[in-house]
Amino acid sequence: MEYGFDLGRYARPIATRNPEAQLWFDRGLLWLYGFNHEEAVSCFREAQRADPECAIAFWGEAYAAGPFINLPWCWMSEVEAREAIGTCFAATQAAMERRDGACPVERALIEALPARYQCNAVVSTDEFSRWDDDFAARMREVHRRFPDDADVASLFAEALITRTPWRLWDPETGEPADGADTEEARDVLESAMLACSEAGQAPHPGVLHMYIHVMEMSRIPECAQAAADDLHRLSPDNGHLNHMPCHIYLQCGRYADALAVSRKAVRADAKYARRVGPFNFYTTARCHDFHAMMDAAMMLGNLRGAREAARGIARTVTPDLLRQDRPHLVATLDAYCSSTVHVPVRFGRWREIVDAPMPAHPELYVVTTLMHHYARGVAHAALGEFEAAERELASLEAGTAELPETRLYFNNAARDIMAIARAMLCGEMAYHRGARESGFACLREAVQRSDQLAYSEPWPWMHPPRHALGALLLEDGQLDEAETVYRKDLGLDDEGRRCLQNRGNVWALHGCHECLQRLGRHREAAEIAPLLTAALSSSDTRIESSCHCRMRNLGATAGSADPAGRAD
């Protein structure tokens, strides 16, 4: 039974007399809680081989092979949906046939499955949604019967949030989204966490994972910090569980902690990839962990960490992966690859950007190629090479026009992402050509478009447009608006959508501090100064502006100098 992965101590005794079946079931359950569904299915099948009459092992296969919030039915191709429903329906029938040998809670979980997989056929998106609703209703009944079972609480909460994936809260009002079971899921999970604590039990990995997902989109993600602090300690080789605290840490401005848990996740992912290779859906989770690491490093001004993460994505997303006939997976991997372009833009590596080759397979790296045109255009504009910037803009516009409206960039349409790229590039070109008000108008458009994106963590447009707008407003002497822009980015005005705030990031702190100094508001600047000094301590590059697109250093401020004296 040698396995090679340390998944932690969590175990759930099941109705089997075979210790090997028990062990494989526990492994499958932990991978399930870590959203590594393919490995979970493999483990549940090993449990079936060890004990062919173990009903809950077949339940595990049926549950793990089905939809979840990162791959709901509506994101599967017809081929993928047919394969999934075939596996899930057969495993459900096998579990139902064996349920007389299960304990009461196992039997209840098994008997909820037919609501999730109602026939062995691909049905309409609306019908699949009805299945999700019916399954959540059945799991509600299971939870009512077994309210003290943490596994049931976790699975019930997941059923609730799978009904409305990534649409749990109204970002404008901070209230639960219409039609979502957000408050119920939150109550269930908080009750389960309290029960574990009062009983002196270790925190439950599935409950903590689901709680982070419920609270990350809220206006009070701080509520999940304790859950985040516990989760990454529970399952050492379970990459996604190590990563999940990052969703809360990024929202709360704990970028160094986000970088640390991301490195831990990436190490665990590498161990898993060495064993199974890249041709699986979990590869998207591996890229997601690099993506979060990149975001944390960028917010810290940590070029080394950002480049390390970007290289990890570039190594992972190979042409062979993008040649698969799995449209959503391919689009997701391309989106991750495209995000790496933000790193040299963030750190102002203009000549490096224009000298770098374009993707060798633009027919595969579709969005990545478009993002390269954006970055090259911004770099040329910053260097004063406007004819070259115009050519990149034309290529960006032409390529965007060819994007299918259905192509996604995580939870958004790819066209919506490219609209931000166009607005950013047009703004940079106009400003550096001297048409400053036109440039500001375009950058304000980029801010508005970025603000309107559907939630995703990290934010789909990784280089906050407010950082460019604020830097250039400050350079132009429009200090009042620049300060407002920075305060909005930092969440200091406490208005608007919480998920748009980048609390405590070094770039906006620098800009805000500089604005206050130049406005003569020295007392307020002194309040910001310690925060800026602390933020600069995690940077490995000299920061003189919130965006390197600002060409002029307007003079030293307390915080523009690198306290460690490091060279760029």
Q: Tens digit of pLDDT for each residue in 132-178?
A: 999 999 999 999 999 999 999 999 999 999 999 999 999 889 999 99
**Interval 368-382: pLDDT, tens:** 999 999 999 999 999
CB 211 within 8 A of CB 224: yes
CB 219 within 8 A of CB 252: no
Per-residue model confidence as pLDDT tens digits over 71-116? 999 999 999 999 999 999 999 999 999 999 999 999 999 999 999 9
Label residue 551 by pLDDT band (50, 70, 90): confident
171: which DSSP letter? T
Specify the residue for token string 């075939």.
86
Both tokens of 413, joined, read 């349409």
pLDDT band at 314 (very low <50, low <70, confident <90, very high): very high
Amino acid 219: pLDDT: 95
Residue 568 is predicted with a pLDDT of: 36
For tokens 């495209």, the residue is: 338
Nearest of 55, 67, 65 to residue 25 by alpha carbon: 55
> Smallest Cα–Cα separation from 123: which of 81, 91, 70?
81
Q: Does residue 248 contact residue 241 with C-beta atoms inside 8 Å?
A: no
How sure is the predictor about 495, in pLDDT bands with cuts at 50, 70 and 90? confident
- pLDDT tier for residue 553 given thresholds of 50, 70 and 90: low
pLDDT tens per residue across span 116-141: 999 999 999 999 999 999 999 999 99
Q: What are phi and psi of 41, to 5 degrees?
A: -60, -45
- Please, are residues 465 and 451 in contact by the beta-carbon 8 Å criterion? no
The CATH 1.25.40.10 portion of the chain extends over 162-316
CATH superfamily of 162-316: Tetratricopeptide repeat domain (1.25.40.10)
494 pLDDT band (50/70/90 cuts)? Answer: confident
User: Alpha-carbon distance 27 to 23, whole Å?
Assistant: 6
Cα end-to-end span (Å), the chain:
51
Q: Which amino acid is at 444?
A: R
CATH fold of 1-146, please? 1.25.40
Q: Give the per-residue pLDDT at 559.
A: 41
- Is the distance from CB of 568 to CB of 304 less than 8 angstroms? no
Does residue 556 surpass a pLDDT of 90?
no
Rounding to the nearest 10 degrees, give the CA dihedral for residues 285, 156, 210, 45. Answer: -40
Question: Residue 563 is encoded by which pair of tokens?
Answer: 């306290």
Tally Cβ neighbours within 10 Å of residue 77: 14
The reported pLDDT for the residue numbered 424 is 99
* 154 contacts 33 by C-beta, under 8 angstroms: yes
**Lowest mean pLDDT, pick from 242-256, 469-483, 485-499:** 485-499
Q: Is the peptide bond before 205 cis (omega within 30 degrees of 0)?
A: no
User: What would the 3-class secondary structure string for 219-263 be?
Assistant: CCHHHHHHHHHHHCCCCCCCHHHHHCHHHHHHHCCCHHHHHHHHH
401-444 confidence digits (pLDDT tens): 999 999 999 999 999 999 999 999 999 999 999 999 999 999 99
Q: What are the Cα distances from residue 526, in Å, to 428, 503, 517?
A: 32, 18, 9
On the question of pLDDT at 554 being above 70, the answer is no
Q: Which residues, in sequence order, are CB contacts of 164 under 8 Å at separation 6+?
A: 177, 179, 180, 181
What is the average pLDDT value for the chain, to the nearest integer? 96
Question: Quick check: 566 pLDDT over 80?
Answer: no
Query: 442-474 burial, b for 16+ CB within 10 Å, e for fewer?
Result: bbbbbbebbbebebbbbbbbbbbbbbbbbbbbb
- What would the DSSP string read from start to end of 342-411? HHHHHTT-HHHHHHSPPPS-TTTSHHHHHHHHHHHHHHHHHTT-HHHHHHHHHHHHHHHHTS-TT-EETT
Confidence of residue 352 (pLDDT cuts 50, 70, 90): very high
Yes or no: say if 333 and 283 are a contact pair by the CB < 8 Å rule.
yes
* Helix, strand, or coil (residue 412): strand
Say yes or no to pLDDT of 338 above 90. yes
pLDDT in tens, 42-69: 999 999 999 999 999 999 999 999 999 9
CA distances for 411 relative to 20, 172, 224, 359, 467, angstroms: 40, 17, 23, 24, 23
DSSP 3-state of 160: helix
Residue (of 394, 414, 418) closest to 404 by Cα position = 414
Do the beta carbons of residue 407 and residue 331 sit within 8 Å?
yes
In this predicted structure, the answer to whether residue 557 has a pLDDT above a threshold of 80 is no
Asked if 421 and 370 count as a contact pair (C-beta separation under 8 A), the reply is yes
Residue 409's pLDDT is 96
Q: In this structure, are residues 243 and 261 in contact, taking their beta carbons and an 8 Å threshold?
A: yes
What's the whole-number mean pLDDT along residues 272-278?
Answer: 97
- Average pLDDT over every residue of 167-191: 96
Proportion of the chain above pLDDT 90, given as a percent: 95
